[in-house]
Amino acid sequence: MMAMRSTSMFAPELKMPGTHSTTRTQRRFLDLHEYQSKEIMAKYNVRVQKGYMAESAEQATAVSQKLVDEGASEIVIKAQIHAGGRGKGHFDNGFKGGVHLSTDPKKIGEVAGKMLGASLITKQTPPEGQKTLKVLVHEAIDFERELYLAFLMDRSFDGPVMVASLQGGMDIEEVAERDPTAILKVGIDITTGIQPEQTRDMAIALGFEGDAIADAQEQMTNMYKMFIDLDCTQIEINPFVVATNGSVYCVDAKLGFDDNASFRQKDVFALRDTSMEDPREVAASKADLNYVGLDGSIGCMVNGAGLAMGTMDIISLHGGSPANFLDVGGSASEHQVEEAFRILTNDPKVQAILVNIFGGIMKCDVIAQGIVNAAKNINLTVPLVVRLEGTNVELGNEILANSGVAIITADNLDQAAVKAVAAISA
């Protein structure tokens, strides 16, 4: 896979990586906390501030004192959640700001006590926010300019791309929308890797001078090595700065990793913090199911993403609202079907369940038996509408009819949606 554009020319256009939405979506990439990202970066000689993670006010005070004893003049404390905009956020206990500075270790401990255990709400979290269970305490550094630097995979370049901007320390998506020429990017030939002339050109374009040019180049090279070695989908440094001591620092970091690489990046994926995720999605992933939570009242169980989208559209067409997207895949077992029902019924918003299965590799009789077992084992109390089609459909319908379970059957999707909406209205 090779970059298809010149590696020595900057291109202003950019499709920026997505940010966390205020509505829950299916996990596609592994997210790490900032403290975890910085620990990994330090192993690759990417320069970050010296700091420590703390899980209590007492720990935060202790590590703050340690940093002061080691020469830090000011301390930064940051709430650790999987969302941006922490500094401008607020906690559900009324405390303002997920990022604070102080020269007093005791003050840092007091701030930690107000953060830990409370939910931080930002523009990038769900409305209820995310609970803060850890804080990062690190040294503060003085700098004059805030830059932006990232490595990511870009389809338009058929491979890795280095992205940068002189306008760092702010929402880079807003920068790209307001002034596309403010974004610089250069494609990297993945077969040869990043080249010295590329890092030098980028360093100069970002305004580095003198010895800082070579230092910035070294940081870029080390970041790219980490990007490739760890199968990253994104390394985002915002801001990327030159401190008053002349050294280049990566002040804030966001790393992304593709789930497809989990089999060879076991140490990285072991860092996954499921407390930051929708528990329904966590349960689904453990059962090898795909789940996306929505805001409606009709739980959907289907096999195949296209069928899921069609099912949700038909439900909406008939005046209902889907509560989720749950795809059991093409070869689900009876056990997986039962787990799918458990996930659906654990959502208090679900008032009815619609199962829409097209049996191909996965036979309708297997699904039917799984549905019956699940309905009995979990003591299903909401209306259940089932539409089966495909391999062994007659046998599947026979299993449903003889199950003794109150199952509403349908001959086609349109009919199933009408019956599901009616079941809620009854």
Is the model's pLDDT at 1 over the cut of 70? Answer: no
Tokens of 97: 């700001």
The answer for residues whose C-beta is within 8 angstroms of residue 101's C-beta and 6 or more apart is 74, 75, 76, 77, 140
Higher pLDDT, 106 or 366: 106
Q: Over pLDDT 70: what percentage of the chain?
A: 92
Question: Residue 89 — very low, low, confident or very high, per pLDDT cuts 50/70/90?
Answer: very high
Q: pLDDT tens digits, residue range 341-389?
A: 889 988 889 999 999 998 877 789 988 998 999 899 988 889 999 999 9
**pLDDT average, residue stretch 104-133:** 96
Average pLDDT of every residue of the chain: 89
Q: Does residue 74 carry a catalytic annotation?
A: no
**pLDDT value of residue 333:** 75
pLDDT at 5 over 60: no
Assess contact for 186 and 162: CB atoms under 8 A. yes
Angle at 81 between CA 79 and CA 83, to 5 degrees: 115
> What CA–CA distances, in Å, run from 367 to 233, 238, 382?
36, 48, 19
Q: Per-residue confidence at 18, pLDDT binned at 50, 70, 90?
A: very low
Q: Give the separation between CA 195 and CA 327, rounded to whole angstroms.
A: 44
Residue 24: which pLDDT band, with cuts at 50, 70 and 90? very low
Would you place residue 33 in the very low, low, confident or very high pLDDT band (cuts 50, 70, 90)?
very high
Report which residue type is found at 413.
L
Position 317 scores a pLDDT of 95
Answer yes or no: is pLDDT of 75 > 50: yes
Q: Which of 75-79, 125-129, 417-421 has the lowest mean pLDDT?
A: 125-129
Q: C-alpha angle 367/370/374, rounded to 5°? A: 140
Measured between alpha carbons, how far is 37 from 24 in angstroms, rounded to an integer?
A: 23
Please report the pLDDT score of residue 31 as a whole number. 83
Rounded CA-CA distance 416/120 in Å is 41
Instruction: Name the more confident of 80 and 1.
Output: 80
Here the tokens at position 195 are: 């080249």
Higher-pLDDT residue of 291, 132: 132
Q: What is the pLDDT of residue 47?
A: 97
- Write down the pLDDT at residue 223: 98
Does residue 236 carry a catalytic annotation?
Answer: yes
Q: What are phi and psi of 41, to 5 degrees?
A: -60, -40
- Report which of 251, 32, 274 is spatially closest to residue 144, judged by C-alpha positions: 251
pLDDT of residue 84: 83
Using CA atoms, how far apart are residues 47 and 149, in angstroms rounded to an integer? 14
- Cα-Cα-Cα-Cα dihedral of 278, 283, 287, 293, to 10°? -40
Question: What was the pLDDT predicted at 331?
Answer: 67
Can you give the pLDDT at residue 426?
Answer: 63
**Residue-wise pLDDT tens digits, 261-276:** 999 999 999 998 888 8
Q: Which two tokens stand for residue 175?
A: 């920068």
- Mean pLDDT, residues 127-143 taken together: 95
Q: What domains are there in the chain, each with its CATH number?
A: 1-48+142-276 (3.30.470.20), 50-139 (3.30.1490.20), 278-425 (3.40.50.261)
Work out the average pLDDT over 408-413: 94
Q: What is the spatial distance between Cα 388 and Cα 360, in angstroms, rounded to a whole number?
A: 11
pLDDT in tens, 299-343: 999 988 889 999 999 999 999 999 998 888 766 677 888 888 889
pLDDT tens-place string over residues 179-209:
999 999 999 999 999 999 999 999 999 999 9
Instruction: Report the pLDDT value the prediction gives residue 284, as an integer from 0 to 100.
Output: 82
Active-site residue, selected from the candidate residues 34, 35, 139, 236: 236
Residue of 34, 35, 139, 148 with catalytic role: 148
The answer to whether 257 touches 269, Cβ cutoff 8 Å, is yes
With a cut of 60, say whether residue 7 has pLDDT above it. no
* DSSP-assigned letter for residue 96: B
Query: Does the pLDDT of residue 14 top 60, yes or no?
Result: no
Rounded distance, CA 187 to CA 153, Å? Answer: 9
